A and B are shown apart, each in its own frame.
Chain A
């Protein structure tokens, strides 16, 4: 019993997790001819929340036809509760030596959990700056670019779409720039 619990709590290697992620694409197509993509939910949420008078045309559409996707997002929250609370890995993430050194250079200790404590302390205005800027760019960029990691990198590339290749390369260009140049500056504001 303890062995089984240990197994459930330990993280999965990439060759287990990756194929399980990829299977989402054919599963959703088979279940209801649905194209996998998570960031559209941010658009649906705006379409639901905005009062009609203040609604740009971009948010005037039948969001009820996309309830399946909002339900999928609700499932993501439940999945986080199940795996993140009950099956959480008690050990710190096993990063490479170089990865550990890099995050330590940012002033972050590798502790158990998926987020460092430095990024969860909302009494720190620097944390608001970092999280707020990140969220703003994610929201704006995913709609401008027409998708996120799930819609472009997983679904789009799986179905051999050239626009998704351009988008995915751009995700990485932006991420490399931000993690290496922008984040070190912002982490000084956090500490």
Chain B
């Protein structure tokens, strides 16, 4: 295995040097993932049934869930940045802006949406359901990796 390049890719890597300076240990992120996984199950965001109900506009549950998540994230992130707080490892808190444009967001977003509506899982629940013993999620994960690879292989031919 050769050494990886040191290229920092906007939108993938955080601000330069953050990797070396990070003081928050990996176990903390493990706990954060565990927290999020529990919430995905208990809120039923990882439920195929709830996703079907959402895409057919048959209940408020998922809309309330996503809407209140966005409002909470918006308010708390604004307060965090407004307060001038630094992250635990001393960095100024920054949110990397998403690339401009719209073509990739419309075409890529709709492609993901079609996949989401079928097995009812977005990437988070793939991992969470796998942990809960749904071995069939290995099929979804395997094909999701194949899809990711295919994008990497043909991306220069796609409009962005």
Contact = CB atoms under 8 A, between A and B. Distances in A.
A and B associate:
yes
Interface string A163-181: 1101111111111111110
B65 A14 contact: yes
Contacts of A121: 136
A191 interface: no
Contact of A186 (B23, B94, B118, B124): B118
B93 A93 contact: no
A185 to B, nearest CB: 11
B111 to A, nearest CB: 3
Interface residues of B, number: 135
A178 B88 CA distance: 43
Q: Is the interface of A mostly helix, strand, loop or mixed?
A: helix
A75 B151 contact: no
Which one of B5, B47, B105 has the highest number of Cβ atoms from chain A below 10 Å of its Cβ? B105
B101 interface: yes
B56 A71 contact: no
Interface string A121-141: 110000110111111111111
Contact of A116 (B15, B49, B118, B126): B49
Contacts of B37: 75-80, 82-83
B22 A74 contact: no
Nearest to A120: B136
Contact of A172 (B113, B140, B158): B113
Contacts of A78: 30, 33-34, 37, 131
Contacts of B13: 61-62, 65-66
Interface in A130-165: 130-150, 152-161, 163-164
Interface string A55-94: 0111111111111110111111111111111011000010
Contacts of B18: 32-33, 65
Interface of B: 1-2, 4-9, 11-15, 18-19, 22-24, 26-56, 58-62, 64-74, 76-77, 79-80, 85, 87-89, 91-102, 104-136, 139-153, 155, 158
16 contacts: A11-B43, A14-B61, A15-B68, A26-B76, A31-B29, A33-B94, A72-B29, A72-B36, A83-B41, A84-B131, A131-B136, A139-B143, A163-B102, A170-B110, A171-B116, A174-B109
